[in-house]
Structure 1
């Protein structure tokens, strides 16, 4: 999926498809900067790494995230959204992403291929230059506090998605249940998605919330090395 590595990285966590089919487009039709809000997608890295191991994936992009220092929640992306649907690939070809900008984000998004892909697919829709887009991504991440119990999770947990939501709401004043959605695969926690206005304030997002995980319980694998 990513242009730098053959192995998909984090894109298999729904690949940024958070608001229905890309064909269900808003009348603005992928015009850069013309969108309603952002979704900050935080991927649970141990789930990604465990799923990759089960599939036998061990490409360079996988190793960058899964064989290095332990990660808990990592940034999958900051996605411009319409109230119904979402823009993507708003400039073709996309402006080339400077390598220095890419490396500056590796602490939050521990995979070069992911960063390049997020710029091409989502960053080009923000109406911002690459440096400003990733600075905005960093600010959005800084605005969200990860609940303490998930920072160094040492043992596998079976948790209710609603309990994960509640933990984030408790840790982040102003965040409501209508502004957050937990997603999952067939058994594991995948992501926590938080809706934010263009000025990075929490805001409701009915369509994102509707597409949350419906399982009673999901597995949270432990942080590597935890």
Structure 2
């Protein structure tokens, strides 16, 4: 009798923990064997929802079955399908173009999310001061390169760390567990070579503004953040390059470059940032770690294109974290 009561108690405890730990049904992943659907129309299959980009003029074949690897929001307007004959093979199609008959539904009769693929217009642009980064990571290939040649562009210009769709939970959209494991272990050389999907011009420019490409930073940034961007690798990096170029042609770059090895006040930094837009300083977090300028974290909101004015992206973006310091040291690549 006592043993039976203990067994029942253990079962109740197990059920209680399962209710706490299991994800809410609205966010549960659909089992792999159920992630298939049938095309009901010859719709275009695009690689960018916002631009309608469709290399190869790919269309669905009515009656053909495709694997769903993601969707753009909880109540989706588009599914991300795997189309083996296309290049790239992952394409967006409107939900109306496929049949819902084969898809599982939750208790409300709605189709639950498959794999969350972030779609939004809030971003965080991480702008780095490379000499400060290399002060703490001298063993990195890009830092050895800078030590050998302190006249490299990143010695006096901001470097691109990354462009991150927000909120910060929007990462690894539609990425395999194998690649996630490689990325988290910093085994970036084992990640897909996203640079092969870039035009020669874009790849050449990226290597200048992102010195971390020497350590395959571009692969990490694409897998973790770029996969949640509404566009191709070419669009993601082209638009990131345009943003970092804006900073490197602005008074904030001139202020920092002309004060290498010296302290710069937060007041002067905010004044320089104001050239990017009204109250821009309120939207940009100055990361001053151990009294040394490390990065600028820029809150952006809007549809990013290579020609979008950064002032427009800053206008409605959320305010940044308030700084608690009065001045920052600008690190020198020659030290």
Same fold (TM over 0.5): yes
- Out of 290, 298, 301, the residue aligned to residue 194 of structure 1 is 298
Counterpart of 1:123 in structure 2 is: 226
Counterpart of 1:24 in structure 2 is: none
Q: Which runs of 5+ in 2 are unaligned?
A: 1-26, 28-72, 75-114, 180-191, 305-312
Report the CA distance shift for 1:140/1:160 in structure 2 as closer, same or farther (over 3 A).
Answer: same
Which gives a bigger RCO, structure 1 or 2 (Cα 8 Å, sep 6+)?
1
Which protein is bigger by CA-based radius of gyration?
Answer: 2
Alignment of 1:1-226 (within 5 A): 31-52=116-137, 57-68=138-149, 69-71=152-154, 72-82=157-167, 85-93=168-176, 96-99=193-196, 101=198, 102-112=203-213, 113-144=216-247, 145-147=249-251, 149-150=254-255, 152-153=257-258, 155-169=260-274, 171-174=275-278, 176-200=280-304, 201-206=313-318, 209-210=320-321, 212-222=322-332, 224=333
Counterpart of 1:14 in structure 2 is: none
Q: Match of 2:314, SS?
A: coil
RMSD: 2.9
Q: CA deviation at 1:31?
A: 3.2
Q: Aligned pair count?
A: 190
Q: Match of 2:194, SS?
A: coil
Q: CA deviation at 1:100?
A: 6.3
Q: Which runs of 5+ in 1 are unaligned?
A: 1-26
TM-score, normalization by structure 1: 0.70
Report the CA distance shift for 1:37/1:67 in structure 2 as closer, same or farther (over 3 A).
Answer: farther
Q: Structure 1 stretches (4+) deviating beyond 6 angstroms?
A: none
The whole-number CA distance in structure 2 between the counterparts of 1:134 and 1:149 is 24
TM-score, normalization by structure 2: 0.49
- Are 2:263 and 2:329, in contact at CA under 8 Å, matched by a contact in 1? yes
Report the CA distance shift for 1:99/1:143 in structure 2 as closer, same or farther (over 3 A).
Answer: same
Report the CA distance shift for 1:135/1:175 in structure 2 as closer, same or farther (over 3 A).
Answer: farther
